[in-house]
């Protein structure tokens, strides 16, 4: 490590905002890449040379200008809860930890304006106190930052009503470029997709405006079914029923519910479960849908207990994988997109081929207006070859896969690659922002 640049950096941001201790730097160079047994050995030893924790936009700009001058890579970090090593610095340099930019700037009727390091959980709490709430958030919301969600996530709780990040769930972003004199650009509308799920490769987001919803009183319900198909039919019917206001529709097959240790005693042994967040007053409609699909309503958490006990969303999205990993470290996962209406046939084919090697977990979302079963199937890992065989089988049966076992946007991303590359050419001509995650084609460098 160049002692010289760390001395200069300390003068620039103040010694308290520059972390150099091995353990601290090591910890802040990691995210949840270890969910992938493919990525774990490859990223285990990657670390930055220093972590900088700016307290203002001005400091962000100063750090970027300094890094540009010295040719030092910069990897931005929110809370480091991403799953594919997005926030892991592949080429050392600086981890730019934005957790110090944590001010909620404005809460309006339709929109909240925040600094990028604001935690989604803190924002949701503040919004609900004013009669509003987030539209969408990941199951890691207590830790995850708004900037990290926009740059590393996709959707989550709320996506059954509001879609994912690309469905109008970001209205404006303030971005700093990596140049001699970093520019502050304000991006809206059709320019935004270049910065959504971009892993911070083409700019550092310091401020965001996101649309918000009116507060709803959420009741949490588990509906139980003898088989997974019935559970899916129920989930699909609820997902399509516009009379039910909802935030979460997540069917999982047995034995996945047996991994949910804190609530397992409240769940039926051997049954498939659909985890739901629906508005108060939806009880009868849910019971009718459950009965029609041959199931029954089980464990419920009334709305006055919302956020006061462990919530059902703590067992959904990629938290489902976390509980599976806790139960048995040989599990890993995939990110899949099933056909909006033909998904049961696709699931049957997969189960016939792989049995319990692939355990089904769907998350219904409404994307571009269409209700679709997104999915994070839990997969028993044996070898990389076998994992990619399973991926190929999914794809050959029309099930889309966003590969979570790669750190590159080219291989695993889900955003608009061309737009991201154009923004990278314009904003990061030296390729210093999170290098290795999005490459400007060789001939152009």
Ligand X SMILES: Cc1cc2nc3c(=O)[nH]c(=O)nc-3n(C[C@H](O)[C@H](O)[C@H](O)COP(=O)(O)OP(=O)(O)OC[C@H]3O[C@@H](n4cnc5c(N)ncnc54)[C@H](O)[C@@H]3O)c2cc1C
| Contact set with ligand X (CB under 6 A) | 31-32, 75-83, 86-87, 98, 116, 138-140, 144-145, 147-149, 151-156, 199-200, 204-205, 317-319, 322, 434
Choose between 9 and 420: whose C-beta lies nearer to ligand X.
420
Choose between 80 and 298: whose C-beta lies nearer to ligand X.
80
Choose between 290 and 379: whose C-beta lies nearer to ligand X.
379
Choose between 192 and 293: whose C-beta lies nearer to ligand X.
192
Q: Where are the alpha helices (DSSP H) in 276-433?
A: 283-292, 318-327, 343-354, 384-396, 409-412, 417-427
Give the nearest distance from C-beta 442 to ligand X in angstroms.
23
DSSP 49-105: SEEE--SSHHHHHHHHHHHHHHT--EEEESSS--SSSTTS-TT-SEEEEGGG---EE
Choose between 92 and 148: whose C-beta lies nearer to ligand X.
148
Choose between 287 and 325: whose C-beta lies nearer to ligand X.
325
Q: Which residue has the tokens 């996945």?
A: 256
Dihedral of CA atoms 146, 152, 156, 162 in degrees, nearest 10, equals 70
Nearest Cα to Cα of residue 174 among 212, 203, 134: 203
Give the nearest distance from C-beta 180 to ligand X in angstroms.
20
The dihedral sign for the CA sequence 249, 254, 260, 266: positive
Give the nearest distance from C-beta 141 to ligand X in angstroms.
8
Residue 432, Cβ density class (10 Å: 0-12 exposed, 13-18 middle, ≥19 buried): buried
Give the nearest distance from C-beta 169 to ligand X in angstroms.
11
Give the nearest distance from C-beta 358 to ligand X in angstroms.
19
Give the nearest distance from C-beta 273 to ligand X in angstroms.
18
Dihedral of CA atoms 387, 391, 393, 395 in degrees, nearest 10, equals -170
| Position closest to ligand X via CB | 148
């Amino acid at each position: 490590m160049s002692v010289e640049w760390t001395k200069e950096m300390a003068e620039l941001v103040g010694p308290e905002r520059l972390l150099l201790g091995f353990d601290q730097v090591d910890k802040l160079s990691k995210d949840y890449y270890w969910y992938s047994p493919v990525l774990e050995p490859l990223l285990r030893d990657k670390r930055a040379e220093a972590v900088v924790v700016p307290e203002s936009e001005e400091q962000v700009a100063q750090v970027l200008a300094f890094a540009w001058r010295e040719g030092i890579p910069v990897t931005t970090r929110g809370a480091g809860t991403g799953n594919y090593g997005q926030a892991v610095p592949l080429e050392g340099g600086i981890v730019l930890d934005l957790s110090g930019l944590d001010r909620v700037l404005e809460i309006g009727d339709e929109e909240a304006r925040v600094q990028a390091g604001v935690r989604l959980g803190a924002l949701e709490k503040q919004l609900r106190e004013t009669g509003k709430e987030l539209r969408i958030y990941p199951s890691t919301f207590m830790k995850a930052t708004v900037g990290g969600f926009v740059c590393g996530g996709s959707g989550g709780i709320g996506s059954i009503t509001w879609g994912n990040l690309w469905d109008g769930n970001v209205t404006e972003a303030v971005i700093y470029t990596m140049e001699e004199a970093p520019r502050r650009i304000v991006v809206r509308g059709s320019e935004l997709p270049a910065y959504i799920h971009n892993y911070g490769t083409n700019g550092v987001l310091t401020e965001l405006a996101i649309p918000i919803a009116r507060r709803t009183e959420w009741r949490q319900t588990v509906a139980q079914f003898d088989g997974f198909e019935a559970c899916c039919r129920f989930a699909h019917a609820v997902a399509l029923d516009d009379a039910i206001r909802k935030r979460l529709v997540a069917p999982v097959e047995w034995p996945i519910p047996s991994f949910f240790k804190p609530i397992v005693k409240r769940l039926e042994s051997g049954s498939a479960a659909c985890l739901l967040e629906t508005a108060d007053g939806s009880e009868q409609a849910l019971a009718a849908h459950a009965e029609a699909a041959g199931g029954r309503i089980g464990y419920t958490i009334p709305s006055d207990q919302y956020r006061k006990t462990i919530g059902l969303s703590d067992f959904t999205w990629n938290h489902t994988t976390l509980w599976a990993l806790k139960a048995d470290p040989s599990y890993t996962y995939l990110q899949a997109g099933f056909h909006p209406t033909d998904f049961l046939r696709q699931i049957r084919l997969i189960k016939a081929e792989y049995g319990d090697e692939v355990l089904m977990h769907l998350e219904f979302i409404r994307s571009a207006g269409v209700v679709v079963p997104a999915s994070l199937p839990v997969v028993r890992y044996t070898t990389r070859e076998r994992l990619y065989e399973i991926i190929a089988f999914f794809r050959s049966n029309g099930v889309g896969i966003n590969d979570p076992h790669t750190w590159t946007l080219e291989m695993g991303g889900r955003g608009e690659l061309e737009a991201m590359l154009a923004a990278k050419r314009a904003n990061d001509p030296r390729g210093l922002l999170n290098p290795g995650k999005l490459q400007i084609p060789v001939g152009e460098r």
